[in-house]
Amino acid sequence: MQTPSNQSSGTEENEITLGVGMGPLKFGASMDEVRALMGEPEEIEESEDDDEFEHQAWNYLEEGYSLYFDREDDYRLSCIETDHPGIRLYGEAIHGMSPEAIQDLMQRHGHEQSEVEKMDTGEMRLSYEKEMIDLYFDEDQLQFVNFGVFINDDLEVQWPA
């Protein structure tokens, strides 16, 4: 059984803050800073030669995180993908939520513009372009989230302060 103190740190650890990061992981962190926080990743993937963006993905398989570092951004943390069952957004546990529940949550926090796309594989993607977050659903349940640092209208990265 978890003690309340353990629960609160776990809660904060998996709290997504749009444009900023997740828990102690902040966009803009160097690879060394991330390594100090998270330890060594279980695997590191290099982007393919034909990828639009040259990057490294650090996969922490046990924790359910993939962290992306783009060469263009001096290999600073710019994107996080997670299927962690404890992920939270605006203080609410969102893993397994329906698309409608997510849209409602986002709307309550002033995010109206969403785009829905059905994938060939049967999954559904709910995207909030301005907020830089994509939410992926299978059978109407949130499976994983991909979110990144904000980018302004001039396509400039807006690192959190």
Q: Which pLDDT score, from 0 to 100, does residue 43 have?
A: 96
Q: Which pLDDT score, from 0 to 100, does residue 10 have?
A: 53
Q: Which pLDDT score, from 0 to 100, does residue 119 have?
A: 86
- What's this model's pTM, rounded to 2 decimal places? 0.89
Q: What is the pLDDT along the chain (161 residues), one digit of tens a residue?
A: 333 333 334 568 899 999 999 999 999 999 999 999 999 999 999 988 776 778 899 999 999 999 999 988 899 999 999 999 999 999 999 999 999 999 999 999 999 889 999 988 889 999 999 999 999 999 999 999 999 999 999 989 999 98
Q: What is the 3-state secondary structure (H, E, C) of 77-131?
A: EEEEEECCCCCEECCEECCCCCHHHHHHHHHHCCCCCCEEEECCCCCEEEEECCC
Encode pLDDT of 48-79 as tens digits: 877 677 889 999 999 999 999 998 889 999 99
72 φ/ψ angles, rounded to the nearest 5 degrees: -60, -30
